[in-house]
Amino acid sequence: MDKPIIYQIFPRIWGNDTERPQKGGSLENNGTGRFRDIDSPTLEYLKWLGCSHVWYTGVLRHSTKSSGGGCLPSHPEFVKGEAGSPYAIENYYDVNPYLAENPDNRLEEFGELVRRTHEAGLKVIIDFVPNHVSRDYGKVSPHVEANAGGPATYLGEKDDRSVHWASGNDFFYYPEQSLVLPDADEFKKETKALKNKDFGYGYRILPAWLVDRCRTFVSEYPYDTQGYKALLKRNAGILSQYAETPAMATGNNCYNASPGINDWYETIKLNYTDEHTGTWDRMYDILRFWVSKGVDGFRCDMVELVPARFFTWAIARIKNEFRDVIFIAEVYKKDLYRKYIREVGFDYLYDKSGLYDTLRAVVEKNVNDNGMPVDLWQSATGITRNWQFLGDLQPYMLNFLENHDEQRFASDFFGKDARNSFAALYVSLFLNRAPFMLYYGEEMGERGMDEEGFSGKDGRTTIFDWWSVGSVRRLRKMIADGSYRPLADKETAVEGDTELEVFRRYSRALKFAAEDPAVRKGTVYDLCYCNFSSDGFDKNRHFAWLRDHEEETLLFVSNFSDHESTMELLIPEHAFEWLGMPVSEDLNPQKHIKVTVPPMDGIMIRLL
Length of the chain, in residues: 608
Residue 217: the pLDDT is 46
| Residue type for position 405 | D
CB 585 within 8 A of CB 406: no
Residue 310: the pLDDT is 98
Dump pLDDT digits (tens) for 592-607: 999 999 999 999 999 9
CB 65 within 8 A of CB 238: no
String of DSSP letters for 257-320:
S---TTS-TTEEEB---SS--HHHHHHHHHHHHHHHTT--EEEETTGGGS-HHHHHHHHHHHHH
Query: What does the alpha-carbon distance between residue 52 and residue 283 come to, in Å, rounded to a whole number?
Result: 27
Query: What does the alpha-carbon distance between residue 136 and residue 199 come to, in Å, rounded to a whole number?
Result: 31
Residue 187: the pLDDT is 56
CB 511 within 8 A of CB 436: no
Dump pLDDT digits (tens) for 449-477: 999 999 999 999 999 999 999 999 999 99
Residue 211: the pLDDT is 55
Residue 203: the pLDDT is 39
Residue 206: the pLDDT is 52
Q: What are all long-range contacts of 107-112, with beta carbons under 8 Å and residues at least 24 apart?
A: 107/145, 107/147, 107/148, 107/293, 108/147, 109/34, 109/35, 109/36, 110/35, 110/59, 110/293, 111/293, 111/294, 112/35
Query: What does the alpha-carbon distance between residue 120 and residue 113 come to, in Å, rounded to a whole number?
Result: 11
| Residue type for position 312 | T
CA distances from 226 to 200, 222, 223, 532, 597 (A): 11, 11, 9, 79, 70
Residue segments in the chain with a per-residue pLDDT below the cut of 50:
144-147, 198-205, 216-224
Q: 153 CB contacts (<8 Å, ≥6 apart)?
A: none
**Among 360, 493, 505, residue whose Cα is nearest residue 426:** 505
